[in-house]
Amino acid sequence: MIKIQLATQEHVRAITPKDIFLDNPDLIMVLGREVATGVPYTLVGPEGEILAIIGCTCVNRTTAEIWSVTSPLVEKYPIAFHRTCLGLLNRFSSLYRIKRMQLVVKDGYYQGLTWASRLGFSLEGTMKSYGCDGSDYLLMGRVF
C-alpha cells in the first residue's frame, strides 16, 4: 500500500536526481518554493521508499496546476501508484473546490503524455519554447 504524507524539503532533495541540476540549477529552488507554498504530498512505498512528490498550485479560485517529480521506483508499483494519484487528484478537486486542473508535459515525453491521459487529462495545445532550454511543452487539462 502506498502512503500519502505532506512533502518536505528533505523529500525534494531525496527524490530529485542530482544530475538534473546541471541543466536547470534553479530546479531545487522552484520545487522548494512549491513545497512551501503549494499543496504537495509525498507518496511513500510499502518499504518506506519515496516514490513521488505530487503537488497542486492554485492558479485562481477554480483552476490548479498539477506537478510531479517521480522516482524510477514508481515502476515497482504501477497500479497502486496510478490509483493513488487518481485519488489524490480527486482529493485536490473536492477539498479546494477545483473545477479545472492542468499540467504540462515536455513534447516528446510519451510516457508522461500517456500517463496524464490515463489520469483523465486531454491535450489542449503546444506551448512553444516554454522550457528553460527553449523546448516545447504540451498543455493538458481536466475538468471536474
* CATH code of the domain occupying 3-102: 3.40.630.30
Closest Cα to residue 85, out of 58, 46, 56?
56
In the chain, the percentage of residues whose pLDDT exceeds 70 is: 84
Q: Structure pTM? A: 0.84
d(CA 99, CA 63): 6
Whether 98 contacts 91, CB under 8 Å = no
Q: In this predicted model, what pLDDT tens digit does every residue of 17-32 receive, in sequence order?
A: 654 554 555 555 566 6
pLDDT: is 82 or 33 the higher one? 82
**Grid cell at residue 80:** 497502486
Q: Report residue 38's pLDDT band, with 50, 70 and 90 as the boundaries.
A: low
Alpha helices in 38-134 (DSSP H): 78-95, 110-118
Per-residue pLDDT averaged across 75-89, rounded?
Answer: 95
**Grid cell at residue 34:** 512549491
Element (H, E) at 55: strand 50-58
d(CA 99, CA 95): 11
Q: In this predicted model, what pLDDT tens digit does every residue of 52-63 receive, in sequence order?
A: 989 888 889 999
